[in-house]
Copies of this chain bind each other. A is one copy, B any other.
Amino acid sequence: MHQQEPPSLRTTIKRIPQRGNYERDIIYEILDEGLVCHVGFVTDGQPFVIPTAYGRIDDTLYIHGSPASRMLKSLQQGIDVCVTVTLLDGLVLARSAFHHSMNYRSVVVFGKATLVQDAEQKLVALQAFTEHVIPGRWQEVRSPSRSELAGTLVLSLPLVEASAKVRTGGPIDDEADYQLPVWAGEIPLKLTAATPIPDSRLHTEIKAPTRANA
């Protein structure tokens, strides 16, 4: 699990370092399974944490939004960001309150976000957003018009200073507590898709797409 060294000091997992992981494969897997990231940035000394969708192509993470968004206006100036993706995998119930925990997989990325200026690269990034949510969807829907493309800001963040943190398995109780008559174990959690709700103006017999991940 620890073949690779952390790529920078701020990326080094300090708390419970055995949960830390700097492998590309693990990082990409978590990013590809997640749907929402939390983008942290600083404006006038004040931290902001904003949830938003994202896409990944190779070792680049893309976020997007309206040119009017406070977040994107700040980020395109090239300020430091921290982007975190968290997948909650389970509740870990111990015999003591103290040892309760959660199973999770998370990725934290540090770096500077840069505005994507090139129209073709922008389109490729938008394709990554759509394909990330529903693989195959990009081919089915109307592509962005020139004005839609102009009305979307895309920012890229290199996946260089990135680390993953993972907890799996059941509780670890104090030895004396194992005799307590308390249920202990894991309640796995999963983001699950329910029956699709067709748009009220949908007049076609086309079947709803399905998601492999959820």
Residues of A bordering B, CB below 8 Å: 10, 14-15, 35-36, 38-42, 45-51, 53, 65-66, 68-70, 80-84, 86, 88, 91, 93-98, 100, 102, 104, 106, 108, 110, 126-127, 129-130, 133-134, 137-138, 140-145, 148, 152, 170-171, 173, 177-178, 180-202, 204, 206-209, 211, 214
Contact = CB atoms under 8 A, between A and B. Distances in A.
Nearest to A184: B199
B36 A42 contact: no
Contact of A80 (B38, B46, B187): B46
B51 A84 contact: yes
B36 A86 contact: yes
B142 A96 contact: yes
Nearest to A171: B199
Contact of A98 (B50, B108, B148): B148
B141 A82 contact: no
A125 to B, nearest CB: 11
B182 A51 contact: no
A46 B187 contact: no
Given A82-B47, A141-B96, A170 B200 contact: yes
A48 B53 contact: no
Contacts of A200: 170
Nearest to A181: B204
Given A51-B84, A142-B182, 9 more contacts: A15-B68, A15-B70, A35-B189, A40-B47, A49-B83, A98-B142, A100-B130, A142-B180, A183-B202
A138 B94 CA distance: 11
23 contacts: A15-B69, A35-B102, A38-B38, A38-B49, A45-B80, A46-B110, A47-B81, A49-B84, A88-B191, A91-B133, A96-B141, A97-B138, A97-B141, A98-B144, A98-B148, A173-B199, A181-B206, A182-B206, A185-B196, A186-B197, A188-B195, A188-B196, A191-B191
Contact of A88 (B36, B104, B198, B206): B36
A65 B69 CA distance: 33
